[in-house]
């Protein structure tokens, strides 16, 4: 089953002389459970793509189906709900709220959504993440827990290795891989680092807003 289907996606910023075609007719599908790395030089359109997939930006043209729903047709309210329920967005792992404990951070999206916390699911997630002894701690230690608690259709990670040393970045990618394997969690990670891309199931290379390479590395 394809958890994500992107059809003829384009994004143009500005008009006339200052027009920038950040995405130019991009199409691809991602099956559920795939670990995808999107790679490309600075300015190639990676962040634009990630923001559109995450429902924080809208395309100029094209469609994005997440788990069967075309998110490009949603209004602001529906899009906000979609973001909260279907997307786990990890921006360089900074999206944890520092004054809340790890447990509070993980359950916050559910509480905002007026949902009861499913304890069994929470506990199994905590096990998978190895966070049993850290729930009461502040998230000064890295954790992608909050992004995962909602069972997101897609976990999006933006340059998770951007400003970490290589040992830390390896650990984070391994953690993402663990979520991916244990929960069949679809992961899309944007990276400059070709070594990370080669550890993914699939590598999509973007240049000038176009896909220039799309390679399955492992099934």
With CB under 6 A as the contact rule, which of the stretches 38-46, 94-102, 118-126, 135-143 interacts with ligand ADP? Answer: 38-46
Please report, as residue ranges, which positions from 151 to 190 form the binding site for ligand ADP (by CB under 6 A). Answer: none
Does the protein bind ligand ADP through residue 105 (CB under 6 A)?
no
Nearer to ligand ADP, 48 or 180 (CB): 48
Nearer to ligand ADP, 89 or 102 (CB): 89
CA dihedral 142, 156, 112, 135 (to 10 degrees): -20
Count interface residues toward ligand ADP (CB under 6 A).
12
Does the protein bind ligand ADP through residue 14 (CB under 6 A)?
yes
Q: Which residues have CB under 8 Å from 65's CB, separation 6+?
A: 2, 4, 5, 6, 7, 71
DSSP strand E in the chain: where?
2-13, 20-31, 35-39, 61-66, 69-70, 87-91, 154-158, 187-191, 202-207, 210-216
Q: 3-state DSSP helix/strand/coil percent for the chain, to nearest 5?
A: 35, 30, 35
Candidate residues 1, 16, 17, 42; the one interacting with ligand ADP per rule CB under 6 A? 42
Minimum CB separation of residue 13 from ligand ADP in Å reads 3
Nearer to ligand ADP, 20 or 117 (CB): 20
Does the protein bind ligand ADP through residue 40 (CB under 6 A)?
yes
Closest residue by Cα to residue 211 from 8, 60, 4? 8
Give φ, ψ of 75 to 5 degrees: -80, 175
Please report, as residue ranges, which positions from 44 to 83 form the binding site for ligand ADP (by CB under 6 A). Answer: 44-48
Binding residues vs ligand ADP (CB under 6 A)? 13-14, 20, 22, 40, 42-48
């Amino acid at each position: 089953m394809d958890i994500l289907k992107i059809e003829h996606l384009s994004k143009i910023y500005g008009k006339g002389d200052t027009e920038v075609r950040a995405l130019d007719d991009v199409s691809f599908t991602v099956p559920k459970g795939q670990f995808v790395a999107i790679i490309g030089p600075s300015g190639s359109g990676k962040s634009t793509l990630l923001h559109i997939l995450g429902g924080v930006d809208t395309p100029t043209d094209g469609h994005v189906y997440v788990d069967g729903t075309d998110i490009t047709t949603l209004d602001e309210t529906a899009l906000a709900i979609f973001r909260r329920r279907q997307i786990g967005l990890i921006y360089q792992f900074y999206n944890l709220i520092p004054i809340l404990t790890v447990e509070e951070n993980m359950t916050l999206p559910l509480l905002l959504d007026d949902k009861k916390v499913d304890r069994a699911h929470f506990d199994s997630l905590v096990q998978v993440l190895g966070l049993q002894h850290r729930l009461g701690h502040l998230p000064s230690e890295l954790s992608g827990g909050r992004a995962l608690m909602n069972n997101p259709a897609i976990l999006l990670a933006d340059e998770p290795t951007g400003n970490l040393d290589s040992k830390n970045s390896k650990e984070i990618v391994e953690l993402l891989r663990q979520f991916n394997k244990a929960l069949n969690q679809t992961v899309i990670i944007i990276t400059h680092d070709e070594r990370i891309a080669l550890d993914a199931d699939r590598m999509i290379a973007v240049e000038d807003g176009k896909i220039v390479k799309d390679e399955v590395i492992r099934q």
